[in-house]
Amino acid sequence: MIVRSEGMKIPWMNLINCIVLVVFCYSIEVCNGQDYGGEEVVKAAPPPAQENCDGVFVTYAFDNREREYPFVKNVTAQAWAFTSMLTVINTGLFELKSWKVQVGFQHNEVLISTDGAVAMGGDGFPVKTGKNGTVLAGFPQADLKTAIDTAGDFTQMAAQVKIKGTQFGVPTKSTPMPKSINLLNDGYKCPAPKKFKTYMQMCCKKDPKFKPKNTSIKFMERQNGDLSFTYDVLSAFESKYQAQVTIDNISPLGRLDRWNLTWEWMRNEFIYSMKGAYTHKKDPSECIYGPQGQYYKDFDFSVVMNCQKKPVISDLPPEMENDDKLGKLPFCCKNGALLPTTMNGTKARSIFQMEVFKLPPDMNRTALYPPQNWKIEGRVNPSYKCGPPIRVDPTGFPDPSKIGITLNAVASWQITCNISRPQPKQAKCCVSFSAFYTDSVVPCNTCACGCEQTSKCDGNAKPLPLPAQALLVPFQDREKLAKEWNRIKRLGTMPKKLPCPDNCGVSINWHLESNYKTGWTARMTLFNWGNDPFVDWFTAVQMKKNIGDGYENVYSFNGTKLPQRTNTVFMQGLEGLTYLVGQVNGTNPNKDPKVPGKQQSVISFLKKNTPNVNIEGGDGFPSKVIFNGEECALPPNFPKSHAAFKSQVGLLPAVLLALLTFLLLTDQFH
């Protein structure tokens, strides 16, 4: 026996015997495994909530996180790399098609990858999560079958998404969990998730009140939106397929000019040839040095249309419409113009076709995957936010032989896009306000269409009041007018750093011209500050309250009140005036500023159907103005009316001012 200083006695022989016994038992266990082939590994039992869920069981599990460079003392600025797992399991009786889950990230997360899903939004990774988090859509496994149809095959009835990203503002000892998770598929109702320290779960069940519109379809119903893409596979082979892309402009106020379409190939596909459109870049090296060149070793990539993972595609000009190789497709070759149906129904669709080559493991006829992260942009057009491709019933095409047979596509997907409202300082057009009862103009917002450099100007300052004639000159020539106007009107001390320009290529002035007992009038003037004209332009004005019910007429434009939106007046150029020309030089280019292209018209309203409106109190100014589908930035306030202008004495100066403004907005001064 050995005695320690604490007085405790340790039986060393007994301890050695125990160690030998443990090693011997371990060796016996190993031998048994070799003799009998090993015992089957027992799977962990699912949580009780999953076993009792008759619907869709969704979980989010936080994995771990590590501090990222640069290391800073400020907790809110410290970046952390994190990993987590989102699991979606179909535990019900119905197949879950094109699943979508919203994860309410709340720590300024930047998603780097989501293995098993794609982030909706159309931009690809990395993805900055918004205030409401991010919506993840299943890919490549978008549909989750039932246990009954798969004999409990977990790989077909469940999807596991490995999430990797960066987050900020998380204390060292806390666990950064999302605010919530939610299944977004139609027909399901989800309770608030049960939350634990590193885990949350919920069971979404079928809504008994939900009734699908069409029960005869095999795949998902086609969705409604402002813009719709249809991706049809016309023919399929082992290593390639023929696809057709159809773009439909559905919104009565949506529009695209010179559209540029991009998407992301997720499985190393490449475009061999194309009709009805073209890609901006043709570089075979991306295929030659990529996985495509490793598989197709004897392939001539010099004739390949595009090898980019994210190609940029544009429409062909009308001159190519009858070209035997590139044209001769219906609805092709319109130079990227997609007009709303309110203007021209035949110009609301665009079509192009392409031959796509595939790579392993997709080398069979049925391995068909559409590209993801669709995004489309135009020139002074709305911003579209697109969802993921959803599988729909194959599109039917009329038989060329015209004997009444319908030919179906091999497979079809739909991508639905909706117009998103421009963020502050990210518009593409802006509006200024003026009125007969005041001689100052409320200009467009500072940096309404963005500011690249603010070193010489203040990007957050309010715009300065201007005289009416200032609307006719470029912004760089308005500084002298603004200072002189400030001196004449005694508006106070001018700031040392003046507000930045609006930087908009198109501006619109809404001038409240008159207000009578029986009706009132406004004048709208369009200014094109760019060098290129706008062909087949249109504008729409949405009024407040029920002002639209009093709409009477538009005099120099072709105007109508939209039946779908009773408070909206739709206007476009008259025949022969459908071009809004670009800016040109002044009468004397050496000293005169450039002159914008402009068109204007008076709009009249009656008060018979709108007796309680307050025209000068703000009801006479629009709540939304749209030019070529793009929502324009509006000033935060409108010209205020003073009591002096309500008297008959004040009418004469107002009429003279309106006349002067009208003359200034014509070409008589140029």
Cα 89 to Cα 99: distance, rounded to the nearest angstrom:
10
Cα 134 to Cα 151: distance, rounded to the nearest angstrom:
33
Q: Which two tokens stand for residue 354?
A: 């392409």
Cα 50 to Cα 291: distance, rounded to the nearest angstrom:
41
Cα 545 to Cα 566: distance, rounded to the nearest angstrom:
11
**Contact by Cβ (8 Å): 170, 80:** yes
Q: Is the pTM of this model over 0.85?
A: no
pLDDT of residue 648: 36
pLDDT of residue 583: 85
Cβ-based neighbour number of residue 205 at 10 Å = 16
State the DSSP H helix or E strand holding residue 154, giving kind and residue range, or none if neither. helix 154-157
pLDDT of residue 404: 63
Geometric angle at alpha carbon 77, from 71 and 82, rounded to 5°: 75
Cα 444 to Cα 430: distance, rounded to the nearest angstrom:
6
**DSSP codes joined into one string, 544-572:** STTGGGGEEEESSSEEEE-SSSTTEEEEE
Left, alpha or beta for 274 (phi > 0: left; psi -120 to 50: alpha)?
beta
pLDDT of residue 350: 96
pLDDT of residue 18: 45
Cα 142 to Cα 60: distance, rounded to the nearest angstrom:
18
* Sequence letter at residue 550: G
Q: 3-state class of 135 per DSSP? A: strand
Cβ neighbours for 613, distance < 8 A, ≥ 6 positions apart: 545, 547, 550, 607, 619, 620
State the DSSP H helix or E strand holding residue 17, giving kind and residue range, or none if neither. helix 12-36
pLDDT of residue 318: 94
Cα 314 to Cα 332: distance, rounded to the nearest angstrom:
11
Could you give the dihedral angle defined by the CA atoms of residues 437, 438, 444 and 445, in that order, rounded to the nearest 10 degrees?
Answer: -110
State the DSSP H helix or E strand holding residue 241, giving kind and residue range, or none if neither. strand 240-249
State the DSSP H helix or E strand holding residue 32, giving kind and residue range, or none if neither. helix 12-36
pLDDT of residue 43: 55
pLDDT of residue 44: 58
The parts of the chain modelled with pLDDT lower than 70 are: 1-45, 122, 213-216, 400-405, 642-670
pLDDT of residue 214: 66
pLDDT of residue 239: 95
Q: 3-state class of 546 per DSSP? A: coil
Q: 3-state class of 29 per DSSP? A: helix
